[in-house]
Amino acid sequence: MHQFFSRLILLLTLAASVAHGQQYPQPVSEMSRQQFPYSMVGLLDFFSGSRIYTASGTVIAERTVLTAGHNLFDRRAGWSTDLLFLRAYHQGEAADEGQIASRIFVLGGYRPSVKRYGGNSFLAFASDLGLLRFTEPAGAGGHAGWTADRALLEANIDKVALGYGAEDHDGEELLSVGTSSPFEKVFGAFLESDSLYFEGGMSGGPLFSRTTAGDLTITGVIVSGSVQPVSGGIRSLNPTAARLIYRYGQ
């Protein structure tokens, strides 16, 4: 997405998945991408104005996909259109027939923040969350779990971010990047990790955290990235996000 980077200075050619303790996105193995909850992540194609963009999203209810708000609304172009979701997309094929979203929602406060401060501001990132609704089931009867427990983000536990890269990769395969380090608060519900790099196109993809029961559950959504210094930014799921999901996503 064109408002993906907060401090983009140069494009980085990645020769390895780890450099100086920093993690970079790599293609997910065939076995992993077919397994739950990875199989609930999909490619999102849409128009913003006259231009088409690639992003990511996750099925979190029968007919609901969670993504970033900046995939759905832009200060200049307004609302995005023709939002096509392709679950478990890989090399031209998807697990289901693609669907165009019938309704879209963004978190309250996102549009005013974007209009006043710009889409790359911390104020915008702090409310950068959205939902897509579909007329037919989006996850073949399944959906990923989520929680508004930010303690999972701030703990030294396994976390993995997923999405479809559109810079160093071509958007044809699911990417993953993980860490066990905590995310740190930047502003409100906007958190960053200096151990992760998120690639353009991954925006809207999920940040999974592993619970004490060993399950992977969504605790945040990818909203920003930076190459210098390296950092990956997420909009955490909190009670405000939970109210949006319960009201419009169930």
In 3D space, the residue among 139, 130, 63, 71 whose CA is nearest the CA of residue 102 turns out to be 63
Measured in whole angstroms, the distance separating CA 40 from the mean position of its chain's CA atoms is 12
pLDDT tier at 77, thresholds 50, 70, 90: very high
Kindly report the average pLDDT of the chain as a whole number.
91
Name 43's Cβ contacts closer than 8 Å, sequence gap at least 6: 54, 55, 56, 85, 86, 89, 94, 164, 171
- What integer pLDDT is reported at residue 88 of this predicted model? 97
Residues in the chain: 250
Q: What's the count of helices (H) and strands (E) in the chain, helices before strands?
A: 4, 19
Name 79's Cβ contacts closer than 8 Å, sequence gap at least 6: 72, 73, 104
H/E stretch holding 137 reads none
Measured in whole angstroms, the distance separating CA 104 from the mean position of its chain's CA atoms is 16
Spatial distance between the Cα atoms of 40 and 21, rounded to a whole number of angstroms: 29
Measured in whole angstroms, the distance separating CA 149 from the mean position of its chain's CA atoms is 17
pLDDT exceeds 70 at position 11 = no
Residue 89 corresponds to which tokens in the numbers above? 């997309």
Spatial distance between the Cα atoms of 121 and 190, rounded to a whole number of angstroms: 10
Average pLDDT over residues 234-245: 98
pLDDT exceeds 70 at position 86 = yes
Q: What is the DSSP letter of 29?
A: P
- What integer pLDDT is reported at residue 4 of this predicted model? 40
pLDDT exceeds 90 at position 238 = yes
Under 8 Å between Cβ of 86 and 54: no
pLDDT exceeds 80 at position 20 = no
Q: Backbone phi, then psi, for 151, in 5-degree steps?
A: -60, -30
In 3D space, the residue among 165, 219, 167, 228 whose CA is nearest the CA of residue 194 turns out to be 228
Name 26's Cβ contacts closer than 8 Å, sequence gap at least 6: 17, 175, 176, 177
pLDDT tier at 114, thresholds 50, 70, 90: very high
Name 152's Cβ contacts closer than 8 Å, sequence gap at least 6: 159, 209, 211, 217, 219
List pLDDT tens digits, range 170-223.
999 999 999 999 999 999 999 999 999 999 999 999 999 999 999 999 999 999
pLDDT exceeds 70 at position 17 = no
- What integer pLDDT is reported at residue 191 of this predicted model? 98
